[in-house]
Structure formats: C-alpha cells, structure tokens
Structure 1
Amino acid sequence: MATILCYGDSLTWGSAPNGGRYPKHLRWPNILNKLIGEHHQVINFGLPGRTTLWNDPFLEGRNGLAYIQAALETFGPVDILIIMLGTNDLKRHFNVGAYEAAKGVEKLIARSRIPNTYNFPAPSIVVVAPPNILSPAGSMAESFTGAVEKSQFFHKYYQEVAVQHHCIFLNSAGVIQPSEMDGVHLDAEGNEQLANALADLIHIEINK
C-alpha cells in the first residue's frame, strides 16, 4: 500500500468557484484515490491561502515551507509527495512571479528530503505546475491583480526545478483551466481531469 500526500492550497482542499467546499467525492485527491485503488491512501492536505514559503500578513499558518516536515512526519512514512503550490504566491501583496514561486517549490523539495526524526525514507516527489489563472472575478479580482500574465510562466520554471531535482513533473495547464466563474478555482470537471492526469503518473511510480 502506498501513501500519497497531496500538499497544496485551495485547489487541493476543494474550494468551489462559487464559494464553499466541494463534498469529498468531488475533490481531486479523493477521485485520485479511487482511480489508483483504495488499498492505497491519498491524503488531502490542502489549505486555502497556502503559499510556497511566504508569510501572509492577512492569513496565519499559510507558509508551506514551515509545515512540510511536520506534515511528512504526521502522515509518514509518505511514499509519494504531490506538491501543487504557487497560485497564492501571485497575490498582489507578495509582489513576486512564477520564477519566485518555483524557487519556493525548490525549497520545499529540499526540505522534504532532509532526514527526519523517525528515519522515514524521502518520498518520491511529483511537482505540479498550477493551472494558468484566468481573468479573476469577484473577491479574487483585487487579490490577483497582474497574476494572469505571471501565471503563464508556471510551467516553464516548475519544469526546470522538477528536472533539476529529479522529480516527476505535471503541467496542469495542459489538462485543466480554472472555472470562468472566479478565474482561479477548479470546477468539478477540472478536479476530475486533474485526478486522471495524476493517476497515470502515480500508477507508473507505484509499479516501479
């Protein structure tokens, strides 16, 4: 049995574009679990607002780097770690782009491979470049001013980091796009499509 930890933000947590949270069966980590077999364990450790490594002055506990080791020990041993973070890095008040987000992912990779208290082996890592942001609407509009253009470079910089650090890579923009309702979050179809794309990669990794 493999343990797969999904470390992400609201797109992993299951935020719906019209507000609230999808029921479990519509969130991509739960769909992924069904696709690869429920004898494996897929853990949804998404948190709305989580960044790669930035401290958000408006939301506490969103620094992904600060909690990755604790997450790996809490759920360990973890066989496969899926990292899909960076969308929130593009919020206007952080004033960074896709390059800096990718460098944040690079730090997460390094931190996840540090020897831990319990001698759990380092997990295989899947780096997922977040989907391109569409025209943010509603409450997303102000927060993500300028993010549409920046998000176009997620796949370039994330792939470079993944290749350099021998991680599996998925460019999610190649299979999904956010809902037009808010331009950031996934609709139910997007969750299903992402789960299917990841299932192909996870099957290969599990069966090595």
Structure 2
Amino acid sequence: MRLGDNFSVVEEGLNGRTTDLDQTNRPGRNGKTYLAPCLASHDPIDTVVLILGTNDLRIEFHRSAQETANAIKNLVADIHQYTSKVLLVSPIHIDDHARDFELYAVGRYDATSAAKSRELADCIKSVAQELDCAFFDASTVAAPGNDGIHLDAAAHRALAEALEKLLV
C-alpha cells in the first residue's frame, strides 16, 4: 500500500453513479440515497474523497454544471455528519472528440455535456471554498480514454498519484 500502514482506503465507486438523481433503467445509482448508509457502515471516518458529477451531465438529466455542484454541496452536508475532512475532486472533462465517443456516448452524452464538464471544476471549487473543503481538479492530471468519458489505466495512475500527494 503506497499510502502506508496508517491508511485504510475504502473504495465505493460505482459506474453510473449520480449525485442525487435516479435512473429508471439503472437503479441504485443515486449517490444521495447511498451516501448516509455507506458512511454509517464505515464510521469512524477520517477523510472522504468525493468525485462525482460526470453522470449528472447526461443528456436525459438536463442539469447544468452549477446544479451539479449544488447537489455536491448537499452531499458534503451529509458527509459533515461523519467527518469535517472532505476532498472534493472535480471529474475529468468529457472529450466529445475522442475516437470512440460517438459509439459509447450516443444518446447519453453530447457536445453540450462536454461543455458543461469543462465548467464543472470552477463550480465545485466554489463549493469547496464555501464549505471549507479541500479541492482538486482531476482534469489537471488526467483525461479520458478513447470513449471520451472514462479514465484509462494511465489516467487512473496519474490521478491516484496526484491524490496521494494531497492525502499524505
């Protein structure tokens, strides 16, 4: 473990998770309804690293970057019931020019989603400042793979190394 013996990392990622939105065809992806039971099951908690927002930008939700950041703000209020130490990580940008974007994203993401993703970091950073949370913009060290949405192995590594420096 690179963080050392004093760290116990609990990874709770789920593909397709939103901040607080329900998906009729993909149940259980609402971060708001999942968060409190998750935090309670892992209590005591020292630090929470939260990286959500990309799935909120799906075409079907018609959600702006600011609305997504507001939903993250509500999640931080829930987290603060368990710990005051929160690291908000804004997601990587959607790349609507990526090689396989049209194949992967058809009907789910579009150029507007990509534009909103580029606005998200500033919105989340404002929430972090308002709520006294640490902040990191994942797009400064990583970009999506060929599908234009998800991190590939190299991007995962780059993001992990950047976050490690913030947490140690």
TM norm structure 1: 0.75
RMSD in angstroms over aligned alpha carbons?
A: 1.2
For residue 151 of structure 1, the aligned residue among 117, 139, 142 is: 117
Any idea what the Cα deviations from partners look like across 1:132-162, whole Å, max 9, x if unmatched?
A: 0001331323201221111110111000000
In the aligned structure 2, how far is the partner of 1:186 from the partner of 1:139? 14
2:97 equivalent to 1:130? no
In the aligned structure 1, how far is the partner of 2:91 from the partner of 2:77? 20
Partner of 2:51: 84
2:155 equivalent to 1:194? no
Contact 1:85 1:130 in 2 (8 A): yes
Mapping for residues 26-105 of structure 1, pairs under 5 Å: 34-105=1-72
For residue 148 of structure 2, the aligned residue among 183, 201, 208 is: 183
Structure 1 residue 48: deviation in Å? Answer: 1.1
Any idea what the Cα deviations from partners look like across 1:76-109, whole Å, max 9, x if unmatched?
A: 1111101000000000100112111101110000
Contact 1:52 1:63 in 2 (8 A): yes
In the aligned structure 1, how far is the partner of 2:166 from the partner of 2:41? 24
Contact 1:129 1:170 in 2 (8 A): yes
| Structure 2, unpaired ranges of 5+ | none
For residue 69 of structure 1, what is the amino acid of its counterpart?
A
The structure where strand makes up a greater share of residues is: 1
Contact 1:90 1:96 in 2 (8 A): yes
In the aligned structure 1, how far is the partner of 2:166 from the partner of 2:91? 16
Q: Which has the higher contact order (CA 8 A, sep 6+)?
A: 1
Where has structure 1 moved over 6 Å in runs of 4 or more? none
For residue 7 of structure 2, what is the amino acid of its counterpart?
H
SS of residue matched to 2:159:
helix
In the aligned structure 2, how far is the partner of 1:132 from the partner of 1:196? 18
Any idea what the Cα deviations from partners look like across 1:32-64, whole Å, max 9, x if unmatched?
A: xx3212441111101111100111122101110
Structure 1 residue 183: deviation in Å? Answer: 0.2
TM norm structure 2: 0.92
